[in-house]
Amino acid sequence: MKFLDHLEEWLIASLMGAATVITFLAVLHRYLSGFAIPGLQDALLKMNTSWAQELTIYMFVWMAKFGAAYGVRTGIHVGVDVLINRLNERKRKVFVVFGLLAGALFTGTIGTLGAGFVWEMSHTDQTSADMEVPMWIVYLAVPLGSYLMCFRFLQVCWTFVQTGELPKHDVAHVEGLEDEVQA
């Protein structure tokens, strides 16, 4: 499980970092193209960065899908649990398990519908406007992210049934910091 956790975190961080760098370079290109500096302006105007916005949008879609799964695993999604917390322990557990299983069912359904859509898209010649990437690759984020989120709902549900604990996000906690302090 640690491998999947780290892969998920690495993918989200890499996409976020790459999207930031690409956006920065595209803005810098646009800004510097306005200066009448001989040689530089000519070189910049020959560069085509129209793909940068499209790629950044696709990267954010992938980040959102995998980030949602990360949110389920770490407990950072916003939830309204005022009524649930007023119930007795037994009823509270029933509602929490129901909510987690409903989330798993929903994301599993979206993943299955998304997989069917991607399958159909893979049999077409549709490509993205600027990068000309097959669109089924872009849409692959939907089934992959949804199935991962479904898995995370089931994982959290299993842990909750076993221990009675839900993941809680501590905003003051820094991952890996206690390892450095103890070393």
Percent of the chain with pLDDT over 70: 96
Range scoring the smallest mean pLDDT among 50-54, 56-60, 174-178: 174-178
The domain segmentation of the chain, as residue ranges, is: 2-172
Question: Please, which contacts does 88-95 make with residues 24 or more away whose CB atoms are closer than 8 Å?
Answer: 93/160, 93/161, 93/164
Give per-residue pLDDT as tens, 126-157.
999 999 999 999 999 999 999 999 999 999 99
Rounded-to-integer distance, Cα 65 and Cα 74, Å? 15
For residue 134, the cross-strand partners are 127
Structure-model confidence comparison of residues 177 and 15, the more confident one: 15
In degrees rounded to 5, what are phi and psi of residue 127? -125, 165
Range scoring the smallest mean pLDDT among 40-49, 92-101, 102-111, 133-142: 40-49
Q: For residue 150, what are the contacts with CB-CB under 8 A and spacing of at least 6? A: 103, 104, 107, 108, 111
Mean pLDDT of 55-65: 98
Q: What is the pTM of this model?
A: 0.88
The predicted pLDDT at position 182 comes to 61
Mean pLDDT of the chain: 93
Rounded-to-integer distance, Cα 15 and Cα 20, Å? 8
Give per-residue pLDDT as tens, 153-181.
999 999 999 999 999 877 777 777 765 55
Residue 89 half-sphere exposure toward CB, CA atoms < 13 A: 5
